[in-house]
Amino acid sequence: MTIYQALTSVTKYPIPSSFIERIGIDRGLTIADDYSGLNQSIELATADVYMFLYGAPDLKEQEVSITQADRDNYLKMANQIYGKYDDPNFSGIRYGFIGESLNG
């Protein structure tokens, strides 16, 4: 299996090959290389695919559908990966506190 195949295997939804090529370049991957497991670049590229799916139009005429629950899940999964690597695409909420005590 190639990296390209691994990235497109997360869904049945049709993902344009030009998009996969672009995120491969953006993440420093050669998508024709053999997939040998997860690493930071591949995880971040997978998060990019999830974000694509989050914003993808519905294609009911091709019997492929993404529900709002699916979209919410894709956003959550992408943000978990982006947050893990402190990626600038992270759009979630960061939690923390200032000082020695949460209660003041």
Q: In this structure, what token pair is assigned to residue 92?
A: 């979630």
In a domain, residue 21? The reply is yes
In a domain, residue 59? The reply is yes
Provide the whole-model pTM. Answer: 0.83
Average pLDDT on 88-96 reads: 69
In a domain, residue 45? The reply is yes
Rg (CA), the chain: 16
User: Which domain does 47 fall in, by range?
Assistant: 3-84
In a domain, residue 47? The reply is yes
Q: How many domains are contained in the chain? A: 1
pLDDT digits (tens, 9 = 90+) for 3-37: 999 999 999 889 999 999 999 999 999 999 999 99
Other beta carbons within 10 Å of 3: 21
pLDDT bin (cut points 50, 70, 90) of residue 55 is very high
In a domain, residue 103? The reply is no
Mean pLDDT over each residue of the chain, to the nearest integer: 87
